[in-house]
C-alpha cells in the first residue's frame, strides 16, 4: 500500500502529512476533527497488527483505546480522548491499544494539534511501547527545555508537514519560527545566503509571552562569509558543522566582520546560550539557523544539536523548493508580460486591460486579451482562453493570438469568417486542442455613435453597462468553441454602444468558482459592474476585479474594459 493510500479516506487526501508520518521512527497516525483516522504510518500498522485499510475512516477511540484487561474504555475515562477534545498537547504512560489479534498493546503516547493544509485541522498521535524500544543505549541527561522522545518525533513530523506545504519563502520562514519559538528557544535568527552569495540576516524573532515579535532593527545585510574563520556562524554558513555558542565565544578579537555582527547580536538580545546549525539544501548551503535562550536559565547542550540539525535540514529542503518555484515563477511572469500586448490608442475611446495569474500554478496561463488596428481604420478587440494554466497553455495562447492578428489584418471579412479560418488552421498547425474566444470589431457608425460587431466561440458573453447603471449581457453571436471540428458556420452580431457606456470582455476565471453555478458568477459581475458605472475606467476595472473574482478561484483572469465617449 502506498503512502497516498495510507493518507486518503472519503475524498480527503493528505499525502504531505503521510510522508511526514513515515519519517517518524515509531507508531503515528492523524485523526480529523471527529476523531477518525485519516493517515497512518507503516510503523503503526506493524505495532497494531492492522493494515491501513482497517484503520482509515474509523473512530480511533472506539477502535483502539482499551483498558489494561482489553475492556472497552469509556470516553469519560480516556485521558487521550479528553485531551483531543480540549485541543491541547498532552502525553501519557501506561495506556493500552487493541491489536487486531485481540491482544492488548501497552503504550506511551503524545498527541498534539496538527495542521494538514487547506485550513483543515487534525491531531497527531505518536505512540510507542516498552516492548519495542527505539534506543536501548544510555541517554544523556536532558536540559530544562529538552523534549521527550515522543515530543521530538512529533516536532519533526510537524516541521516536515508545515514547511513542505508552502512554496513561499517568507511563509516557510514564518512557520519555522512558530515551530521553534518558544518551544525550543526564546530567540530565533535566520541568516540566508542570496543567489549572489551575499549573506542577509532575514529574520530575528523573540518570544514575548505568547507573541512572536520581529526585530527588524537587527535584520539586514551581513559581511561576506570568511573562508578560514573558526567561529560558529561562519562555520555553519560554510556548511561545516552545528555548534554551541555563548557571549564568551565572541569576546576575543573578532576574526571577521560576521564575528563582529554576531557579537553585537548576543549583546542586543541578551542571549546567554545559542545553538547554530547550517541550513542545507540539496545543492548548496542556504544559510544558518541560530536558536538562543535568554529567559530560560538552562543553556543548550550537545544533546540538543541533533534535533536542531534535523529541523534545519528540513527547512533547507523547503527553502530550496520555494526558491526553485520563485525562479520558475519569475521566468513565467517575464514570458507572460512579453506575450500579452500593449493596448493601442484609439481616438475617442478609453481602454484598459488586466491580467491576474492563477494563484497555484506557474503564474501564466492560456487566458489572453488583444486589441489592434485594422486596415479599414476599425479596431479589433479579442479575449480568449486556451485550455490550461501553465507554460504550454501560454505558448498555445501566443500562437492563437498571432494567427488571429494575421487573419484579421489580411482578410477583410466579418469576425465570424475570420474565426472560422482560425479554427481550421489551429487544428492543423498548432498543438492547441480547445479554446474559447470573442473577436469583435469596433468602429464609428454613420451617425457618429460607436458600433460593435462580434462573434463568440464558446466564451462568456460580453457585458455592456450604460452610464445610467443598466447592465446587460450581449448573448447574440454565440457559437461553439474552437477545436471541435464541426464545420458549422459561425454567427455574427452587431450592437450600438450608447454614449458613455462601458464594454467588458473577460475570461471565465472572473465568474467561475468551485461549488457555484455560472449564473451566480455572471449575476455577481453584472451587479458590481452596474454599481461601479460612474467610476473612471481605471478604478472601475480595479474594483471590478477586487469585488468579483472569487476568493477560491484557481484559474487565471484576463479582462479588457472599453468606454465610449459621452455625447
Instruction: Write out the three cell numbers for 509.
Output: 476565471
Residue 1, pLDDT > 60, answer no
pLDDT at 16: 61
pLDDT at 5 over 60: no
Residue partners of 343: CB distance under 8 A and separation at least 6: 351, 352, 353, 371
pLDDT band at residue 15, thresholds of 50, 70 and 90?
A: low
The domains of the chain, with CATH numbers, are: 3-160 (3.30.450.20), 166-329 (3.30.450.40), 340-563 (3.60.40.10)
Taking residue 53's Cβ as centre, other Cβ atoms within 10 Å add up to 13
Average pLDDT rounded to a whole number, residues 364-372: 84
Q: What is the pLDDT of residue 237?
A: 95
pLDDT on residue 377: 87
Q: Which residue has the higher pLDDT, 130 or 172?
A: 172
> Using 50, 70 and 90 to split pLDDT, how confident is the model at 359?
low
Question: In the prediction, which pLDDT does 388 show?
Answer: 65
Q: What is the pLDDT of residue 427?
A: 81
Considering the entire predicted model, what is its pTM?
A: 0.56
Q: What is the mean pLDDT of residues 372-388?
A: 90
Closest by CA to 116, choosing from 67, 160, 168, 55, is 160
Most confident of 16-25, 62-71, 421-430, 521-530: 521-530
If one compares 149 and 183, the residue with the highest pLDDT of the two is 183
The H helix count followed by the E strand count for the chain is 14, 26
**Core vs surface per residue 228-247: b (16+ CB within 10 A) or e:** ebebbbbbbbbbeebbbbbb
- The burial of 88, by beta-carbon neighbours within 10 Å (0-12 exposed, 13-18 middle, 19 or more buried), is given as exposed
pLDDT score of 2? 40
Minimum mean pLDDT among 33-42, 330-339, 460-469, 507-516: which range?
A: 330-339
Distance of alpha carbon 474 from alpha carbon 461, whole angstroms: 6
- Identity of the highest mean pLDDT range in 5-19, 102-116, 296-310, 521-535: 521-535
Across all residues in the chain, what is the average pLDDT? 86
Q: What is the pLDDT of residue 360?
A: 57
Share of the chain above pLDDT 90, in %: 54
- The pLDDT assigned to 13 comes to 42
pLDDT of 10 higher than 50: no
What's the whole-number mean pLDDT along residues 472-485? 92
Average pLDDT value for residue range 477-501: 90
Residue 3 pLDDT level (bands cut at 50, 70, 90): very low
The stretches of 87-201 forming alpha helices (DSSP H) are 149-164, 169-180
For residue 76, CA distances in Å to 63, 82, 83, 346, 364 come to: 16, 7, 11, 76, 54
What is the mean predicted confidence (pLDDT) over 517-541? Answer: 95
Q: Is the pLDDT of residue 139 over 70?
A: no
Query: Is the CB of residue 31 less than 8 Å from the CB of residue 37?
Result: yes
Q: What is the mean pLDDT of residues 17-28?
A: 77
At 180-200, the pLDDT tens digits run 999 999 999 999 999 888 999
Mean pLDDT to the nearest integer, 69-86: 84
Lowest mean pLDDT among 159-163, 220-224, 283-287, 414-418: 159-163
DSSP 72: B
Is the pLDDT assigned to residue 142 strictly greater than 70? no
Q: What is the three-class DSSP state of 377?
A: coil
Amino acid at each position: 500500500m502506498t503512502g497516498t493510500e495510507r493518507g486518503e479516506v472519503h475524498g480527503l487526501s493528505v499525502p504531505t502529512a503521510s510522508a511526514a508520518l513515515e519519517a517518524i521512527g515509531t507508531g503515528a497516525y492523524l485523526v480529523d476533527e471527529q476523531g477518525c483516522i485519516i493517515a497512518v504510518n507503516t510503523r503503526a500498522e506493524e505495532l497494531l497488527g492492522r493494515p491501513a485499510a482497517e484503520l482509515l475512516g474509523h473512530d480511533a477511540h472506539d477502535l483502539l483505546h482499551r483498558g489494561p484487561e482489553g475492556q472497552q474504555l469509556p470516553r469519560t475515562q480516556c485521558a487521550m480522548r479528553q485531551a483531543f477534545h480540549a485541543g491541547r498537547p498532552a502525553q501519557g504512560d501506561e495506556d493500552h491499544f487493541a491489536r487486531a489479534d485481540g491482544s492488548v498493546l501497552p503504550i506511551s503516547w503524545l498527541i498534539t494539534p496538527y495542521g494538514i493544509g487547506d485550513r483543515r485541522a487534525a491531531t497527531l498521535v505518536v505512540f510507542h511501547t516498552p516492548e519495542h524500544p527505539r534506543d536501548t543505549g544510555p541517554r544523556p541527561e536532558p536540559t530544562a527545555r529538552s523534549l521527550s522522545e515522543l515530543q521530538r518525533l512529533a516536532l519533526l513530523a510537524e516541521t516536515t508537514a508545515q514547511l513542505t506545504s508552502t512554496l513561499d519563502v517568507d511563509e516557510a520562514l514564518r512557520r519555522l519560527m512558530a515551530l521553534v519559538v518558544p518551544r525550543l528557544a526564546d530567540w530565533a535568527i535566520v541568516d540566508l545566503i542570496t543567489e549572489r552569495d551575499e549573506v542577509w540576516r532575514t529574520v530575528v524573532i523573540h518570544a514575548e509571552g505568547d507573541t512572536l515579535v520581529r526585530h527588524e532593527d537587527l535584520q539586514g545585510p551581513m559581511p561576506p562569509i570568511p573562508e578560514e574563520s573558526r567561529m560558529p556562524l561562519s562555520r555553519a554558513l560554510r556548511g561545516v558543522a552545528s555548534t554551541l555558542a555563548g557571549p564568551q565565544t565572541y569576546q576575543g578579537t573578532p576574526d571577521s566582520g560576521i564575528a563582529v555582527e554576531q557579537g553585537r547580536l548576543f549583546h542586543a538580545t541578551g542571549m546567554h546560550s545559542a545553538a547554530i546549525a547550517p541550513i542545507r539544501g540539496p545543492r548548496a548551503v542556504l544559510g544558518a539557523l541560530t536558536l538562543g535562550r535568554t529567559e530560560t536559565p538552562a543553556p543548550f547542550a550537545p544533546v540538543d544539536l541533533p534535533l536542531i540539525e534535523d529541523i534545519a535540514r528540513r527547512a533547507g529542503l523547503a527553502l530550496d523548493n520555494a526558491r526553485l518555484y520563485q525562479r520558475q515563477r519569475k521566468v513565467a511572469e517575464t514570458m507572460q508580460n512579453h506575450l500579452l500586448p500593449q493596448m493601442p490608442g484609439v481616438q475617442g475611446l478609453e481602454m484598459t486591460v488586466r491580467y491576474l495569474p492563477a494563484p497555484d500554478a506557474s503564474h501564466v496561463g492560456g487566458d489572453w486579451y488583444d486589441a489592434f488596428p485594422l486596415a479599414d481604420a476599425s479596431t479589433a478587440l479579442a479575449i480568449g482562453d486556451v485550455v490550461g494554466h501553465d507554460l504550454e497553455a501560454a505558448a498555445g495562447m501566443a500562437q492563437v493570438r498571432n494567427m488571429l492578428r494575421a487573419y484579421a489584418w489580411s482578410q477583410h471579412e466579418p469576425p465570424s469568417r475570420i474565426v472560422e479560418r482560425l479554427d481550421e488552421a489551429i487544428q492543423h498547425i498548432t498543438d492547441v486542442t480547445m479554446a474559447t474566444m470573442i473577436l469583435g470589431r469596433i468602429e464609428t457608425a454613420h451617425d457618429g455613435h460607436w458600433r460593435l460587431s462580434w462573434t463568440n466561440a464558446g466564451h462568456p458573453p460580453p457585458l455592456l453597462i450604460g452610464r445610467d447603471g443598466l447592465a446587460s449581457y450581449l448573448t447574440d453571436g454565440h457559437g461553439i468553441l474552437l477545436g471541435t471540428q464541426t464545420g458549422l458556420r459561425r454567427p455574427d452580431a452587431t450592437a450600438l454602444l450608447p454614449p458613455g457606456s462601458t464594454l467588458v470582455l473577460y475570461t471565465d476565471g472572473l465568474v467561475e468558482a468551485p461549488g457555484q453555478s455560472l449564473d451566480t458568477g455572471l449575476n455577481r459581475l453584472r451587479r458590481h459592474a452596474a454599481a461601479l458605472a460612474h467610476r473612471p475606467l481605471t478604478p472601475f476595472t480595479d474594483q471590478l476585479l477586487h469585488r468579483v473574482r472569487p476568493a477560491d478561484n484557481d484559474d487565471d483572469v484576463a479582462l479588457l474594459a472599453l468606454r465610449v465617449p459621452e455625447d
